[in-house]
Homo-oligomer: A and B are copies of this chain.
Amino acid sequence: MQIGFIGLGVMGRPMALHLLKAGHSLAVYARRPEAAVPLAAAGATLASSPSELAARSDVVMTNVTATADVEEVLLGADGVIHGARPGTIVIDFSTISPQSTRRIAAALAARNIPMLDAPVSGGPVGAETATLVIMVGGDADVLATAKPLLDCLGRQIVHMGSHGTGQIAKACNQLALLVNAEGTAEALALGVRYGLDAGKVREALMGGIAASRVLEVFGDRMAKRDFKPGMAARLYDKDLGFVLELAREAGLELPAAAIVRARLDRLVAEGKSTQDLAALIELVERGSSG
C-alpha cells in the first residue's frame, strides 16, 4: 500500500520507519526538510507539499503538534484535501481538540475522504518499540481497512466510536495520568517533609494498590529530582486545555484536573515549560498551586 506521512518528529519518525520496515511504500512531507533525511535514507520518497503527497497515496498519516497544524496540512492551501482522491484514508495521530477533529473530518467527508482520529499513548519509547496504544474515532469499516497498518505501530488498537472519540479517549487518558501525577507529587512531598526517603516511599507504594506507571516512571524522577526535559510540561498543559474545554462544554466540574492545570500553567509562567512533569513535586513543596 502507498502511504504518505506528514510530521516526522520524535513520534512520527519511528512510526514512519516501522511502516517502511513492514514493506510499505512510503512518501513523506516535512515542513523542516532536514527531518525527512533519515526517512529518505531508509527508502522513503519526498513530496513537495501535503497536496502532492496525497495525490500519490492510498493512506495519508499525520502526526503534528497542534490543532492548527493539522488544519493546515489537511485543509490549508496546499493541504491534503486538494490532492487526495476520493476514498483516500486520512489517519491523524496528533493529539488535538476533539471538536476541531469533528469539523476536519466533516470537511474531508464532503470530498469523500474518510478520516480516523487516532491519537496514541506510549510516548517516544512506545513509538520506537511499536507498542503504542491507539485510540481510534471514525467509521468501523475504515478502521478495518487501516487496521493492518496500525498494527505495525501499536500493540493495542481500541475503537472508541465516531469521529472525535479517539481524541476524547486521549483526553481521558491525559486527565487520569496528570491527576495521578499530582497525587504522586503530593504523596512523595508529604513523605519527604517528614524525613522519609522518596525512593523508599515509591518502592513501598509500588507494592500495593497505589502502584501505577506514573509512580513508576515520574515517581522515580521526582525521587531523584530529575526534571530535565522529558515529557514536557507544556504539552500536557495543551492536552489539559482540551480536557477542560470538553468539561466546560458538558457542564462537568473536574476539580482535580483544574488543580493540575494551575500547576502546569505555573511551570510555563516560570519559564519551565520544557521541564519534565516530575517538576510537579517542587510546586507541591513550594505550595504553588497556581
Residues of A participating in the B interface, judged by any CB pair closer than 8 Å: 98, 121-123, 126, 132-133, 135, 155-156, 158, 160-161, 165, 168-169, 171-180, 182-184, 186-191, 193-197, 200-201, 203-205, 207-215, 217, 243, 246-247, 250, 252-257, 259, 284-285, 287, 289
Contact = CB atoms under 8 A, between A and B. Distances in A.
Contacts of A213: 208-212
A254 B212 CA distance: 20
A160 B207 contact: no
A290 to B, nearest CB: 9
A190 B171 contact: yes
A208 B123 CA distance: 9
Nearest to A219: B176
A176 B184 contact: yes
Contacts of A259: 255-256, 259
B190 A183 contact: no
Given A175-B186, A253-B287, A255-B259, 19 more contacts: A133-B208, A160-B196, A161-B197, A168-B190, A168-B196, A169-B191, A173-B187, A176-B184, A176-B186, A177-B183, A179-B187, A183-B257, A193-B250, A211-B212, A212-B213, A252-B285, A252-B287, A255-B289, A256-B256
Contacts of A289: 253, 255
Nearest to A183: B179
A121 B173 contact: no
A212 B184 CA distance: 12
A110 to B, nearest CB: 23
A165 B195 contact: yes
A200 B133 CA distance: 12
Contacts of A133: 204, 207-208
A161 B287 contact: no
A190 B161 contact: no
Contacts of A254: 186, 189-190, 284
30 contacts: A121-B207, A121-B210, A122-B208, A126-B208, A158-B200, A165-B195, A169-B204, A169-B205, A172-B188, A173-B187, A173-B205, A175-B186, A176-B183, A176-B184, A176-B186, A176-B210, A177-B208, A179-B179, A179-B182, A180-B214, A183-B256, A183-B257, A190-B243, A190-B246, A190-B252, A211-B213, A212-B212, A212-B213, A253-B284, A253-B287
